Amino acid sequence: MELLFLGTSSGTPTKARNVSALALRRAGSKSWCLIDCGEGTQHQILHTPLSLAQLDTLLITHVHGDHCYGLPGLLASAALSGRKQPLRIIAPAAIRSLIDCYQQLTELRLTYAIDFIAVEELVGTNGAQQIITPEFAIDAFPLSHRVPSYAYRFSERQLEGKLDIDKLRAEDIPPGPMWHQLLKGAVLNFNGRQLNGHDYLLAPRQPRAVVIAGDNDEPSCLSEAVAGASLLVHEATFTVDIHHKVGPAAGHSDAARVARFAAGQQLPHLVLSHFSARYGYGSRSPCIADIEQEARQYYAGSLWLANDFDLLHLDKQLQLSVSSLRPSS
Amino acid sequence: MELLFLGTSSGTPTKARNVSALALRRAGSKSWCLIDCGEGTQHQILHTPLSLAQLDTLLITHVHGDHCYGLPGLLASAALSGRKQPLRIIAPAAIRSLIDCYQQLTELRLTYAIDFIAVEELVGTNGAQQIITPEFAIDAFPLSHRVPSYAYRFSERQLEGKLDIDKLRAEDIPPGPMWHQLLKGAVLNFNGRQLNGHDYLLAPRQPRAVVIAGDNDEPSCLSEAVAGASLLVHEATFTVDIHHKVGPAAGHSDAARVARFAAGQQLPHLVLSHFSARYGYGSRSPCIADIEQEARQYYAGSLWLANDFDLLHLDKQLQLSVSSLRPSS
């Protein structure tokens, strides 16, 4: 699974960081999901291999502008490039109204249908509902913020099957096209016996799961979401000292709060993002290094502080590697 | 007068050009006007000396997304940076509704008042109305496009006075504080005579006027607007050949059409912008050089094809010079 950060700043863009957006896909797949779409997300995408025509699902965590003001422009550009395939959008219901406003007031004419799913319905009183895409099962979880905010959990689907070769050999089933059919789950007749492919598949590996959280001041809301997950992306807008100065009304987390939660859940990988614009790259406080240092005090697992254009690869052995797609100029 | 181009692409951003936005100010002034605000305009501003706190008037030419989708993010960032001064917005009435949608649906909370002026009222049946800002008199003119679109004419105000020194000396009025008071228009008693400052001022120079047009397929709509103006900024979305392929329904102009109009009006300076993303920087057609070549066939005046971050300076002698504020990385 690959995560490509398109924006890692909170509230307002800086010269180095755009506002929130994160692309997720299975490595090697052209199809992808976009989680949040701050203003300028389509501009960031121009510098990546991602194509608006191949965007499968667009998810919004909450209605604040730094998470959704890039939506109308991205929808317009997808139409200008001739997209025909329907686009699935999972978002707070207010986002549907916002798109309606744009269509009525600014002549936004789309060349494709929008399959809009209100996230409120996925976590409603009728019990949680899962969205199944070709590559992921997606669950939503409510968080705690100034406005309703959500986390999305992506669990991979269609795990590759693996034949139990020892069993096939023990039963004298010869290698060749029959093995290939059994791998696909076919039921075959062989020497008067009925063979069911499912009887010759090894137990699949654990599916990888990652959780992408929106703005949230109570990481414990995510206890259920991160159970069995390998990686959590969570905001760390502040360090504790500045969080105290700003006060709790902002509805954000500090690095210590998130790190303690991740440690308690024994999460293998924690990725922090959504940094207040006051944290600079240099070594003079407040700086990004302050956030990292604070998180490491509480969390001994694999920690990464996201930058725009960071590409994170979570392999099947649940190892994380990071490279950068930042354009050179 | 200074014009700083913040976006020169039509419809969709490219790696080299953002969608429409143009800053205008008197040279040396911190106060400025913004004409159009495509998505990512606030990002472009980060790379310039312009401050959102000093934005005096924000004008929108029409409701298409590439001219206004950056508005909510810019308003939000101005609030986050603590702006208190009211912001004048001159725009189609639908933009007021769009801002209302944002305030209702996305919790956009502004720290300053918006003084909204519907451009329809400026050109209404009751006759044209002028908006007076500290530095400019602004007139609006209707254009021809798929949706109502407008041009704005900025005429400078507060021309600096100049004393008629020959006359002062001929009347034996001695240099010193009195000259300074006369320059300010004071009425003084001197040797039993009453002196009126206005009698000792030379006729002011011609005020500079520039016209910034929105999308428009009939340049002749601008005949009245450009009378006496020194500079017109107009879209040249296409060259004639591609315009024929696209067809007239787009409601845009080609370079030849605008250039013929500018020649007929004997306009001193013509600046083209809003180029279709299909025109590249290189020498392989279709390219920006094609647009320039086509315009030069019809217009022998001072011609400039705008790039993002081009800073155009129109001096008091109506000479135009160009530099670039493009960030180096």
User: Tokens 């306009």 correspond to what residue?
Assistant: B267
How many residues appear in chain B? Answer: 329
Q: Which of A47, A94, A106 sits opposite B64 (nearest CB)?
A: A106
Tell me how far CA of residue A79 lies from CA of A108, A110, B234, B274, B294, in angstroms.
9, 5, 25, 19, 29
Cross-chain residue pair B76–A68, CB shorter than 8 Å: no
User: What tokens appear for A303 in the block?
Assistant: 């920690």
A201: CB partners within 8 A, 6+ apart: A161, A162, A163, A164, A183, A185
Question: Nearest residue on chain B to A41, judged by CA atoms?
Answer: B40
Query: Rounded to an integer, what is the distance from CA A118 to the centroid of its chain?
Result: 17
Q: State mean pLDDT over B249-278.
A: 97
Which residue in chain B has the smallest CA separation from A43? B13
Q: What residues contact B308, with CB distance under 8 A and at least 6 apart?
A: B5, B6, B7, B8, B16, B17, B18, B44, B326
pLDDT at A204: 81
Tell me which amino acid residue A24 is: L
Enumerate the residues of chain A whose CB falls inside 8 A of the CB of residue B76: 12, 65-66, 69
Q: What is the pLDDT of residue B329?
A: 56
| Helix, coil or strand: residue B71 | helix
Annotated binding-site ranges of A for Zn(2+): 62, 64, 66-67, 145, 215, 274
Beta carbons within 8 Å of B212's beta carbon, 6+ residues apart: B22, B24, B35, B59, B61, B151, B152, B153, B154, B233
Domains of chain B with CATH codes:
2-157+207-324 (3.60.15.10), 165-200 (no CATH)
The answer to whether the Cβ–Cβ distance between B102 and A329 falls below 8 Å is no
Chain B CB within 8 Å of residue A313 CB: no
| Nearest residue to B324 (alpha-carbon basis) of B307, B303, B300 | B307
| Cβ pair B158, B26 in contact under 8 A | no
Q: Provide the residue-wise pLDDT of chain A in tens; the chain has 329 residues.
A: 999 999 999 999 999 999 999 999 999 999 999 999 999 999 999 999 999 999 999 999 999 999 999 999 999 999 999 999 999 999 999 999 999 999 999 999 999 999 999 999 999 777 789 999 989 999 999 999 999 999 999 999 878 788 999 999 999 999 999 999 999 889 999 999 999 998 999 988 888 999 999 999 999 999 999 999 999 999 999 999 999 999 999 999 999 999 999 999 999 999 999 999 999 988 899 999 999 999 999 999 999 999 999 999 999 999 999 999 999 85
CA B33 to chain centre: 7
Say if the Cβ atoms of A97 and B101 lie within 8 Å. yes
- Please report residues of A whose CB lies closer than 8 A to that of B81: 12
DSSP string, A234-283: EE--B-HHHHHHH-GGG---BHHHHHHHHHHTT-SEEEEE-EETT-BSSS
CB contact under 8 A, A14 and B46: yes
> Residue B232 is encoded by which pair of tokens?
């017109």
Look at the alpha carbons of B270, B275, B281, B282 in this order and tell me if their dihedral is positive or negative: negative
A302 — contact with chain B (CB < 8 Å)? no
Q: How far is B305 from chain A, CA to nearest CA, in Å?
A: 22
Q: Hey, which residues does A152 pair with through a beta bridge?
A: A140, A212
The answer to whether A13 faces chain B, any CB pair under 8 Å, is yes
Q: Chain B, 94-133: which have a CB under 8 Å from a chain A CB?
A: 94-95, 97-98, 101-102, 105-108
Q: According to the model, what pLDDT value does residue B101 have?
A: 96
The bridge status of strand A87-91 relative to strand A114-118 is parallel
Q: What is the ipTM of this complex?
A: 0.91
Contacts of B263 (CB under 8 A, 6+ apart): B298, B299, B300, B301
Lowest mean pLDDT among A208-217, A297-306, B154-163, B315-324: B154-163
B107 with A43: Cβ contact below 8 A = no
B94–A105 CB contact, under 8 Å: yes
Instruction: Please list, in sequence order, all residues whose beta carbon lies within 8 angstroms of the beta carbon of residue B9, skipping any fewer than 6 positions away.
Output: B17, B18, B19, B20, B66, B274, B275, B277
Q: Tally the residues of chain A.
A: 329
State the average pLDDT over residues B285-312. 97
pLDDT of residue A126: 74
Whose CA is closest to B41, among B89, B86, B8, B83? B8
B215 is in an annotated binding site: yes
Q: What's CA A43's distance to the chain center, in Å?
A: 19
B199-232 residue pLDDT tens:
999 988 888 999 999 999 999 999 999 999 999 9
Active site residue ranges of B:
66
B216 Cα to chain A: minimum distance (Å) = 16
Q: Determine, for residues A39 and B107 on separate chains, whether the beta-carbon distance falls below 8 Å.
A: no
- pLDDT at B128 exceeding the cut of 90: no
List A56, A66, A308, A310, catalytic entry: A66
How much is the pLDDT for A329?
56
Among B65, B95, B107, beta carbon nearest to A63: B107
User: Which amino acid is residue A214, in one-letter code?
Assistant: G
